[in-house]
């Protein structure tokens, strides 16, 4: 499994921002546990205000990959992109735990050229449909796609590595762990409790790794779905211990969005002074 390099500034920023202040990026499978093979799972993918209610922007399907239980890449089928969400199907034809989602890395930042501020990476204007009829057109920000495009005369160069993983897991038959094998790069999940073996009346334990080692101090936000129908968000704000682990309780059955984030100064990109990492997953917690 290799860590794919893609510029996805908008999605990474959504995953790393404070949960109550920004849009969230999410994947929602129709089911996470199946009795056997020769079945299908449909996944919704979107960026929205309320979990898991599409109301803002669809997730681009070109970022999505599928891994079979043996770690090999499988196929996404019947992909479709709508106004507010994308959908696709995965044929579950092997026993074990499947991984579905995205893993990305980019470089964000800014610099000045002849007194004007430029951006590195990111979106070069508002997304389609963001401008309302009758409003003046927004100016397109001056930007370059990669650090290699920064002109020689640039000053005040500030660069940050931004990486993000966003996965869901589907198990056919007995859970397996091959798809959780760490790559040793960035922020990763090493489950103590398997994500497809959760029960509402039993706390779960997850361990996070950074560059393959237990990651202490990781901020973990856990939010139950259905905020559209609640007055309070009900988020849990947790922090991993010295061994990189955190325990999560489930107040009610349902789907939960889990997002972990960590920043440090261990960037590998030339001229970058730090990195921001995130790991997001959606889990299904049935009633006991």
Mean pLDDT of 19-39: 84
> Is residue 108 a contact partner of residue 160, using CB atoms and an 8 Å limit?
yes
Per-residue pLDDT of 78-135, as tens digits, reads 999 999 999 999 999 999 999 999 999 999 999 999 888 999 986 554 444 444 556 6
**Which residues, in sequence order, are bridge partners of residue 238?**
220
Which pLDDT score is estimated for 23? Answer: 80
Q: How does residue 168 score in pLDDT terms, banded at 50, 70 and 90?
A: very high
Closest CA to 220 of 251, 248, 181: 248
The rounded mean pLDDT for the chain is 87
User: For residues 104 and 169, which has the higher predicted lDDT (pLDDT)?
Assistant: 169
Helix (H) or strand (E) run with residue 98 in it: strand 96-113
Q: How does residue 138 score in pLDDT terms, banded at 50, 70 and 90?
A: low
Which pLDDT score is estimated for 139? Answer: 59
Across 48-62, 115-129, 141-155, which has the greatest mean pLDDT?
A: 48-62
Q: How does residue 15 score in pLDDT terms, banded at 50, 70 and 90?
A: very low
On the question of pLDDT at 5 being above 60, the answer is: no
Which range, of 29-33, 124-128, 163-167, 169-173, averages the lowest pLDDT?
A: 124-128
Mean pLDDT of 35-60: 93
> Is residue 259 a contact partner of residue 18, using CB atoms and an 8 Å limit?
no
Which pLDDT score is estimated for 133? Answer: 57
Using a pLDDT cut of 90, give the percent of the chain over it.
69
User: For residues 140 and 108, which has the higher predicted lDDT (pLDDT)?
Assistant: 108
User: For residues 45 and 133, which has the higher predicted lDDT (pLDDT)?
Assistant: 45
Per-residue pLDDT of 170-210, as tens digits, reads 999 999 999 999 999 999 999 999 999 999 999 999 999 99
Which range, of 19-28, 34-43, 94-103, 182-191, averages the lowest pLDDT?
A: 19-28
**Which residues, in sequence order, are bridge partners of residue 280?**
166, 259
Q: How does residue 217 score in pLDDT terms, banded at 50, 70 and 90?
A: very high
Burial of 32 (0-12, 13-18, 19+ CB in 10 A): buried
On the question of pLDDT at 4 being above 90, the answer is: no
Mean pLDDT of 17-27: 65
Closest CA to 217 of 236, 191, 193, 243: 243
Which pLDDT score is estimated for 99? Answer: 98
Q: How does residue 226 score in pLDDT terms, banded at 50, 70 and 90?
A: confident
Which pLDDT score is estimated for 266? Answer: 92
Burial of 19 (0-12, 13-18, 19+ CB in 10 A): middle
Mean pLDDT of 5-11: 36
């Amino acid at each position: 499994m290799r860590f794919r390099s893609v510029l996805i500034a908008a999605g990474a920023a959504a995953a790393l921002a404070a949960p109550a202040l920004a849009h969230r990026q999410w994947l929602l499978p129709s089911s996470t546990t199946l009795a056997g093979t020769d079945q299908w799972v449909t996944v919704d993918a979107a960026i929205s205000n309320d979990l898991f209610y599409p109301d803002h922007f669809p997730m681009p399907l070109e970022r999505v990959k599928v891994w079979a239980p043996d770690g090999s890449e499988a196929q996404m089928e019947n992909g479709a992109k709508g106004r507010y969400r994308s959908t696709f199907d995965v044929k579950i034809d092997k026993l074990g735990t499947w991984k579905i989602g995205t893993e990305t890395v980019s470089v964000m930042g800014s610099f000045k050229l002849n007194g004007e501020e430029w951006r590195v990476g990111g979106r070069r204007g508002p997304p389609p449909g963001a401008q309302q009829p009758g409003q003046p057109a927004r100016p397109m920000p001056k930007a370059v796609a990669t650090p290699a495009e920064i002109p020689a005369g640039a000053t005040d160069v500030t660069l940050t590595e931004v990486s993000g993983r966003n996965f869901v897991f589907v198990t056919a038959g007995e859970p397996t762990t091959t798809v959780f094998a760490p790559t040793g790069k960035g922020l990763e999940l090493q489950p103590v409790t398997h994500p497809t073996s959760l029960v509402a009346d039993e706390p779960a334990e997850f361990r996070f790794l950074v560059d393959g080692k237990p990651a202490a101090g990781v901020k973990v936000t856990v939010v139950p779905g259905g905020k559209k129908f609640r007055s309070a968000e009900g988020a849990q704000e947790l922090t991993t211990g010295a061994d990189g682990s955190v325990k999560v309780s489930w107040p009610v059955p349902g789907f939960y969005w889990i997002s972990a984030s960590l920043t440090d100064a261990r960037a590998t990109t030339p001229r970058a002074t730090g990195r921001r990492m995130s790991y997001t997953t959606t889990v299904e917690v049935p009633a006991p």
